[in-house]
Amino acid sequence: MTALTEQQRSALQDLLGRVAQGDKTAFGALYDSTSARLHALCLSLLKDRPEAEDVLQRVYVSVWREAGQGAAKGPVMEWLVTMTRDMALERLRNRAARGQMRANHRPEIAAVHVPERKATAPCLAKLDAEQADALRMIYFEGLSYADLASAMSVSVEELRDWLRPGLLNLRGETAA
């Protein structure tokens, strides 16, 4: 998937403004314009279609409820991706807490990286929260650059450029 054009970003902003006023048609159009990307993000994180669909439904219920409260501070797609990512990660944490990790969640990735997670946690805490989350998803959760870039509506190169300063800071902190 490609990055959104300025016209598409503007159209999403307009749709969200109309959703904030209770426009159900605009809500449907917003869903039609964004759900495929958000579903792909959910699926890449959760590795479970029914759970991904459930999280996506929760995202759009939140959109309907929060649109009128000015919740989207910035570009709409980035707000939706952040909300989707947060809800999917919350679902993963809840799943792990219940001890119901599914075999297809790739628990081997999390197990291999436990020492690295502990070592990098203080360093990641110093980074921008979104950058730190993205680095965790890529390096510890097993999400590919391509999947994350697609969900964020940017190219892989743009994602790498955005992550590079945080990664360099992280490497500098862990080397010290």
Does residue 69 share a domain with residue 2?
yes
CA 27 to chain centroid: 21
Does residue 165 share a domain with residue 90?
no
The token pair at 18 is 């109309």
For residue range 64-95, what is the model confidence (pLDDT) as tens digits?
998 877 666 778 998 999 999 999 988 887 76
Q: Is the pTM of this model over 0.95?
A: no
Q: Which of 45, 79, 103 is the last residue of a domain?
A: 103
Does residue 174 share a domain with residue 135?
yes
Does residue 12 share a domain with residue 84?
yes
Does residue 110 share a domain with residue 99?
no
Does residue 112 share a domain with residue 48?
no
Q: Residue 3's pLDDT is what?
A: 74
Q: Is the pLDDT of residue 98 over 60?
A: no
For residue range 12-58, what is the model confidence (pLDDT) as tens digits?
999 999 999 999 999 999 999 999 999 999 998 888 899 999 999 99
Does residue 171 share a domain with residue 84?
no
The token pair at 143 is 């999400």
Q: Which CATH number does the domain housing residue 172 bear?
A: 1.10.10.10
Number of domains, the chain:
2
| Per-position DSSP letters for 74-117, written without gaps between them | S-HHHHHHHHHHHHHHHHHHHHHHTT---GGG-HHHHHHTHHHH
Does residue 24 share a domain with residue 39?
yes
The token pair at 80 is 């939706």
Phi then psi dihedrals of residue 7, to 5 deg: -65, -40
Domain boundaries, position 2: 1-103
